[in-house]
Amino acid sequence: MHWALLVVGVAMLAFSAMLRGRAARGGAQGLAVLLVATGVILAFRRPGSAIHLPGWGPRQWTQP
């Protein structure tokens, strides 16, 4: 799922440069950045990734 968001976001960012209207281009680029950011966050939350964001997997408990 995260790869799809990354690819769609980057493609949308590239194609939004061709839009003529300033408001339309800004909205498309903003949505593209949000899609890419969401894809990156989802990619980093995967257990097999090198960088883990907190909150993934079972809670780690140690004896006090």
Q: What is the average per-residue pLDDT within 47-62?
A: 65
Give backbone dihedrals phi and psi of 62, rounded to 5 degrees, phi first. Answer: -125, 155
Three-state secondary structure call for residue 16: helix
In whole angstroms, what is the distance from residue 41 CA to residue 62 CA? 28
pTM: 0.66
Q: Which residue has the higher pLDDT, 62 or 55?
A: 62
Kindly list the domain boundaries of the chain, sorted by start residue.
Answer: 14-44
Mean pLDDT of 43-54: 66
Average pLDDT over residues 8-13: 88
Q: Report pLDDT for 6.
A: 86
In the predicted structure, residue 37 carries a pLDDT above the cut 70: yes
Which two three-digit tokens encode residue 1?
């799922």
In this prediction, residue 34 has a pLDDT band, given cuts at 50, 70 and 90, of: very high
